[in-house]
Amino acid sequence: MPFSLDASAYRELLKTFLAEDLGAGDITTETTVPSTQRARGEVIAKAPLVLAGIELFAEVFRLLDSAADAEIIFHDGQELAPGQIPARVRASARALLSGERVALNLLQRLSGVATETRRYVRAVEGTGANILDTRKTTPGLRALEKYAVLVGGGKSHRKDLGEAVLIKENHIRLAGGVSAALVAAEAARGRAAWIEIEVTNLDELREALAHAPGVILLDNMSPALVRQAVDQVRARDPLRKIRVEASGGITLASVREFAEAGVDWISVGALTHSAPAVDISFEIEPE
């Protein structure tokens, strides 16, 4: 499904990226390419990929040349084969050369996240489990990386610490235990989208179930143990008001086994912290 991103909303962020790369000015381009030279650049997929960030790519050049014209051929969410051209940009040659690295870095990074997410989503098709991202994102790029996860077919977990309560191992230890943490968390029920607690074994699970949290996170459990845990949750909560999430050490090779264990959510930090950038080139020719 094609997605559309309002790239203009990210202009200030893109300006900071350009400032970082340009420094005192692109002295190579300024000394070798005439200021009056116009050029055309083609984006070319060099590997199979799910496209994400193509509007941001074009916006980089609009910031450097207000007369830049982008022809978007493929949109975010579409799958490309090697050799396909998702976009062409016409602008000042200097703008194309000076913005190339920032534009490509973003496009390769976001398309890499979308492509990796699509692999996980396809691996669990038919199970009813949803693939979720985490907060293991690149500082400054969270909104864009989470957008890329959506493009790939995944869903978003908490966008930030203020959205929901997620009680993890360190919280439990500092609060004095599972029950103590959940009782204290009730104070946030009016402003939290949900209350969730992480458990690492069946004893912690039973203690958590007594408080009926919105979500129970099964952390670093084997698929067999996850299946036992899901059975216990469903026996206690036949109406499925409590969502069950699995996380920790889940790979593309193992994700379906976790999905078939009956969880609702599978959160995968690797979608954003380890997705490889995809191979995309930008070939510039004079006009």
pLDDT of residue 74: 97
- pLDDT digits over 93-152, tens only? 999 999 999 999 999 999 999 999 999 999 999 999 999 999 999 999 999 999 999 999
C-alpha–C-alpha distance, residues 103 and 163, integer Å = 31
Query: Which of 40, 135, 136, 159 is the catalytic position?
Result: 136
Q: How far is it, in rounded angstroms, from Cα 69 to Cα 138?
A: 30
Per the annotation, the verdict on 198 as an active-site residue is yes
Classified as helix, coil or strand, 70 is strand
pLDDT above 80 for 1:
no
Catalytic residue among 219, 245, 256, 264: 219
Q: How far apart are CA 271 and CA 263, in angstroms?
A: 19
pLDDT tens string 211-224: 999 999 999 999 99
Q: What is the mean pLDDT of the chain?
A: 97
AA letter at 70 = A
Catalytic residue among 101, 155, 159, 234: 101
pTM above 0.85, yes or no: yes
Segment 151-164, tens digit of pLDDT: 999 999 999 999 99
Q: Out of 26, 198, 245, 264, pick the active-site residue.
A: 198
Catalytic residue among 11, 15, 122, 168: 168
Q: Which domains are seen in the chain, by residue range? A: 7-121+275-286 (3.90.1170.20), 126-273 (3.20.20.70)
Q: Can 168 be counted among the known catalytic residues?
A: yes
Alpha-carbon distance of 205 to 159, in angstroms, equals: 25
User: At 64, is the pLDDT very low, low, confident or very high (cuts 50, 70, 90)?
Assistant: very high
Buried b (16+ CB within 10 A) or exposed e, 14-47: beebbeeeeeeebeebeeebeeeebbbbbbbbee
Q: Is 196 a catalytic residue?
A: no
Shortest CA distance to 104 belongs to which of 285, 287, 279?
279
The answer to whether the CB of 71 falls within 8 A of the CB of 87 is yes
